[in-house]
Amino acid sequence: MSMTKPNLHDARLAFVGLIIAGVSHEFKNHLSVTKELSGLLDDLLAMEKDALPGRERLAKITAGIGERVAAAAEMASHLGRFAHRMDFPLSSFSVNEVVGEILFLARRFARLKNVALEFDPAPGLPPLHSNPSLLQFVVFSAVMPMFDHLEKQGAVRVATAAAGDRVRIAFHCEKIKAGAPADLSPPIPPEALQALHAERPPVEPDKDGIRAVLLLSPIPPESGG
């Protein structure tokens, strides 16, 4: 929550973030216990060597539990970090981390539409002072409608790049359905772009498969978001 400009919206976001962060932390606790118990079962099986009938099948089961625990823990980690982005309206952050996080969490929605969602982060981007949670909302709002304009097995590839003191986020699309518009993302609420100090330059049709662009400027610290 902002110490300089408290308002109901920020307080509600921080509240939602706190609940999600707390629950994802609890998930990780349960996953940690599950992993140790499964690991202990593995240890006990290893001590039995070949004497225990069905040992191989049990070992396969514990390996499967391990894989699921690892996948769920990765998801819980992303969810926890996503939640903490709502702690403060303004902060300095890595654009790649913030964008990578929301794309990871949005992959489920891409999978349900039979398309891929990929991220191509540019190395060496300087930290950006802005609103990370709002940026995630804008990126999410940009990619979600793109899925409907793609053929099955299509892909949305989000790429970051430095553009002077700004950061450029380009949304490339592959396997676009015939007749789709040049700019595939819907109108993002102008107040969101304004609050982010972001611009959406017009997109040239079919230029490198780019179907939407965001240009982000740092928010001056005194503006308070």
Partner 1 sequence: MQNPRVLIVDDEKEFASTLAERLNMRNMEAVAVYCAEDALALIHTADHVPDVVLLDLKMPNIDGLQALEAIKQYDSSIEVIMLTGHGDRKIIEGISSLILDYIIKPVDLPELIKKIGAATQKRRAALPGAEGGTA
Q: Enumerate binding residues for partner 1 (CB under 8 A).
A: 21, 24-25, 28-29, 31-37, 39-40, 43, 69-70, 73, 77, 80-81, 84
- CB 34, min distance to partner 1, A: 8
79 conformational bin, left if phi > 0, alpha if psi -120 to 50, beta if neither: alpha
- CB 46, min distance to partner 1, A: 9
213, containing H or E segment: strand 210-216
- Which of residues 51 and 178 has its CB atom nearest to partner 1 in the complex? 51
Q: Which DSSP category does 126 fall into?
A: P
Look up residue 47 and give its amino acid: M
Q: How far apart are CA 37 and CA 91, in angstroms?
A: 39
- CB 59, min distance to partner 1, A: 16
- Which of residues 37 and 63 has its CB atom nearest to partner 1 in the complex? 37
- Which of residues 93 and 119 has its CB atom nearest to partner 1 in the complex? 93
- Which of residues 30 and 207 has its CB atom nearest to partner 1 in the complex? 30
Q: How far apart are CA 75 and CA 225, in angstroms?
A: 29
Measure Cα distances from 222 to 58, 129, 197, 202 in Å: 60, 11, 14, 30
- CB 173, min distance to partner 1, A: 33
Q: List strands edge to edge, sheet with 210-216.
A: 116-120, 150-163, 166-176, 210-216, 198-199
- Which of residues 35 and 168 has its CB atom nearest to partner 1 in the complex? 35
- CB 196, min distance to partner 1, A: 23
Q: How far apart are CA 35 and CA 62, in angstroms?
A: 9
- CB 78, min distance to partner 1, A: 10
- Which of residues 84 and 149 has its CB atom nearest to partner 1 in the complex? 84
